[in-house]
Structure 1
């Protein structure tokens, strides 16, 4: 491996030098941390060389290595960088390219090995056979190999020039390796529009291309073309980035070229099952009474707005909402809050999907929460994992002749009565329903307990639980069998005799 080329030593040094950064944080994922010392040494030498060749007299930038990020390693760790008062972050490895809030970042994707000729041959043969135009998408670590694949495709086309009539191919491009802080998220600039985004052009006679952005890639389709018309050819691993594309473009035909095995994977049905699982979780979330909002990022721009919006959404649906800040969630952590019926995970698109089969309660995304808790919302099949898509996208409440209310005896919202004759009939029906439900509450002790529980504040409720954690405050409060066993520290139990 060409070390300096893989870690883009010259480009990173030029970026630091051009912006006069004095304190730089280097963020490594776990698998690249072993090379951090070599990277720091090479960067220092290159920065020193650049300063010697310039007329400026200033100190070399201080470099700080960051590891063990609080959340997903694909996001820029702004919290860790703030601890050393860094001016910027150099992010190494796989990146979701989510916009930051306070600090700029330069992303080094790396250069994963890729057999360009073999990939081009698989792409050409399958593309010609499908008869559809092809859109090539790829993991960012394979961006370096796209020029070689394009050149190899020309060779393939020359070999089979008689069979390539009408064969069209489009390549996505990396939007930018530099992340600029964004204090406010603008819908049209920061996320993919599922129906495409058209450039405004005063000349109506000129064709308008439809532009898309997702997962750090950007591409455009000619006027009148839809994503469903294309064969999506993914180059890379079966990872979170690939899952993001599968769910977002679930109506498209998708194949994957495995760069490690060097072969084409045409069966992506296993990944497609994820969408069915997500739909099941949405339906299950509709029955929740208490909802936990998990903070999954402290750096992606707009995350605070998303948390506030989710809180308002849950409260408006007549449910309790609690916000949890606990780092990377796992079954053991969330098991401390068994009262929560469902959790909403606010994070970047590539860490948003948590396999909640091992958790006590399902974990959904903000997009799924919008469908679950907005009465009248239905899943059309469109899907988005970018929580920025949800910001400012909640529909206004629509007044319908069908009135929705929460029914305790049916265990959810019901829409089985219509109000057609004005306010008087509406008030009469609502009064009757209110009286009926109050009577049922008085007769049902379980419902009465539920009502008392919901009346408590979050702190009072959690403090009143019979289970308080692993700390044992008094041995008198437990039955005798609980105390069977050794006591003291493992380094020296009380009943052990010193030798």
Structure 2
């Protein structure tokens, strides 16, 4: 029995398993704490100012215990004709606005609670309630200034302050304290707007009360320093927050900067720039795996971030230009079991918000890369300066500028598509499969019985020669149950069993046991 238990389970462990949630807010709050922590009064004012009638309240898993008190408090403050809906178990990452679930209740606005990636929304107005984590501005400024002076980094002309969104409420106090301790430095930061406007309406300016809004993705540190005339060598980035994806993305996208982080929980400051090279080398390995892939799956990881549809179209275009095959797949929150069903796909590119784009693919069968990494992988020459981009809009803008500045000619294509390619992963030459080429006339050899065919409306048989999935199916030992249409005689209809599972009417086991 012990050996059997090793390979099988009754499922009881899944039901009794304890899930650890990183919750920094007590599960029980008083009315005053609830008001202050979740900005009840400001939320009510924004709903009334926007004249929203159906409002969706989106909560991450760690804040679900507070959803009922918040719902009741908001309901008591708003007019009776306004309807509120609680959203949980988001379609994709909890940091993204779940516009799909909000549309199911026909909401005209959404209130997002907890940590947010602040990505530009595409359809609904969003009110952000970020929560407020405790931080001591005086100790934070002292720790930063002492660390900078000890490492002689205080000689930098420009200091760029970045922080986790939960510490935005103390950002101004930290800046004031830093200016007192570092008077010779210019301290820059991008304020966070707690109201997000849909991309299309923001351009048209159709909602005055939501105009002139921005988010954390609006300007990057490099753009700030460029506007101030400073270079990465003359600048340093200070980050307030613990170890998280936001810090990882900051290190990747600003590899040429010195980055110092202050963790309010441990009250410690440390230099983070030393991790940058390791992170970039790990991502460079994923780029080389994507370069060897002939079949690429475009994994849709968001339906609410603006520009995700143009980005998917752009990815399809560059994959086709590289003579590779692409499939667009949406599976909600990706996990190894879901993606394991697509064995013909050799690499996935994840279209998600910046904080969910980087997945640790150790448990997955296929590598998962970002859109920028795929662009680097599909370049004719293997060049990468260490620059990294995660923002959708920036990728599309650079692509558009490249098309305007470069004349695309057919003779730019490589002359020999069958030339072997050297793989840095295997250390060997390989012949890449080529998809999307010119259609060749069918020959007698093509009319083989194993070819996958499709009959169109005119009754003509069409060969699916450019289908990677069909080719993969032909190489599998098991291809599903054979239908054998027209080969076997039809079976006769027989009377089936009747009754319940524990004792069918025609079950004679009891009679045989009694006889024996």
* TM-score computed with the length of structure 2 as normaliser: 0.70
Shift of 1:242: 1.0
Q: Using a 3 Å threshold, how does the CA distance of structure 1 residues 86 and 404 change in structure 2: closer, same or farther? A: same
From 136, 148, 157, the counterpart of 2:161: 136
Shift of 1:335: 1.3
> Does the CA-based 8 Å contact 2:196-2:215 persist in structure 1?
no
Aligned pairs for 1:67-216 (under 5 A) are 67-128=88-149, 129-130=152-153, 131-132=155-156, 133-153=158-178, 157=181, 167-183=184-200, 214-215=216-217
Shift of 1:333: 1.3
Shift of 1:399: 5.9
Aligned pairs for 1:256-295 (under 5 A) are 256-270=261-275, 272-295=277-300
> Does the CA-based 8 Å contact 1:138-1:235 persist in structure 2?
yes
2:359 corresponds in structure 1 to 354
> Does the CA-based 8 Å contact 1:174-1:218 persist in structure 2?
no
Q: Distance in 1 between matches of 2:283 and 2:308?
A: 22
Q: Distance in 1 between matches of 2:265 and 2:159?
A: 22
From 312, 315, 319, the counterpart of 1:314: 319
The yes-or-no answer on 1:13 pairing with 2:44 is yes
Question: Aligned with 2:306: secondary structure?
Answer: coil
Contiguous gaps of at least 5 residues in structure 2: 1-28, 204-213, 424-436, 438-444, 446-450, 453-462, 484-500, 511-516
Q: Using a 3 Å threshold, how does the CA distance of structure 1 residues 463 and 269 change in structure 2: closer, same or farther? A: same
From 347, 366, 375, the counterpart of 1:370: 375
The yes-or-no answer on 1:65 pairing with 2:86 is yes
> Does the CA-based 8 Å contact 1:354-1:363 persist in structure 2?
yes
> Does the CA-based 8 Å contact 1:140-1:174 persist in structure 2?
no
The yes-or-no answer on 1:388 pairing with 2:393 is yes
From 410, 435, 439, the counterpart of 2:420: 410
2:78 corresponds in structure 1 to 47
1:486 corresponds in structure 2 to none
Q: Using a 3 Å threshold, how does the CA distance of structure 1 residues 216 and 72 change in structure 2: closer, same or farther? A: farther
Q: Using a 3 Å threshold, how does the CA distance of structure 1 residues 153 and 381 change in structure 2: closer, same or farther? A: closer
The Cα RMSD (Å) is 3.5
Shift of 1:150: 3.5
1:300 corresponds in structure 2 to 305
Q: Using a 3 Å threshold, how does the CA distance of structure 1 residues 96 and 374 change in structure 2: closer, same or farther? A: same
Question: Aligned with 1:328: secondary structure?
Answer: coil
1:445 corresponds in structure 2 to none
Q: C-alpha offsets along residues 328-374 of structure 1, whole Å, 9 cap, x if unaligned?
A: 11111111112211111111111000111221111111111111113
2:11 corresponds in structure 1 to none
* TM-score computed with the length of structure 1 as normaliser: 0.72
Question: Aligned with 2:396: secondary structure?
Answer: coil
From 329, 344, 347, the counterpart of 1:342: 347
Q: How many residues were matched structurally?
A: 402
2:57 corresponds in structure 1 to 26
Q: C-alpha offsets along residues 125-149 of structure 1, whole Å, 9 cap, x if unaligned?
A: 1233412132211111101112332
Shift of 1:32: 0.6
Q: Distance in 1 between matches of 2:394 and 2:175?
A: 33
Shift of 1:270: 3.5
Q: Distance in 1 between matches of 2:411 and 2:317?
A: 24
Q: Distance in 2 between matches of 1:237 and 1:216?
A: 23
Q: Distance in 1 between matches of 2:55 and 2:380?
A: 48
Shift of 1:101: 1.5
Q: Using a 3 Å threshold, how does the CA distance of structure 1 residues 274 and 154 change in structure 2: closer, same or farther? A: closer
Question: Aligned with 1:351: secondary structure?
Answer: coil
Q: Distance in 1 between matches of 2:200 and 2:92?
A: 20
Question: Aligned with 2:78: secondary structure?
Answer: helix
Q: C-alpha offsets along residues 229-263 of structure 1, whole Å, 9 cap, x if unaligned?
A: 21111100211111111111101111110111111
Shift of 1:460: 3.9
Q: Using a 3 Å threshold, how does the CA distance of structure 1 residues 377 and 106 change in structure 2: closer, same or farther? A: farther
Which has the larger displacement, 68-77 or 278-287?
278-287
Question: Aligned with 2:67: secondary structure?
Answer: helix
Q: Distance in 2 between matches of 1:170 and 1:154?
A: 7
> Does the CA-based 8 Å contact 2:372-2:390 persist in structure 1?
yes
2:258 corresponds in structure 1 to 253
Q: Using a 3 Å threshold, how does the CA distance of structure 1 residues 258 and 71 change in structure 2: closer, same or farther? A: same
Q: Using a 3 Å threshold, how does the CA distance of structure 1 residues 93 and 126 change in structure 2: closer, same or farther? A: same
The yes-or-no answer on 1:457 pairing with 2:467 is yes
> Does the CA-based 8 Å contact 2:168-2:192 persist in structure 1?
no
2:330 corresponds in structure 1 to 325
Which has the larger displacement, 116-125 or 70-79?
116-125
From 227, 230, 237, the counterpart of 1:232: 237
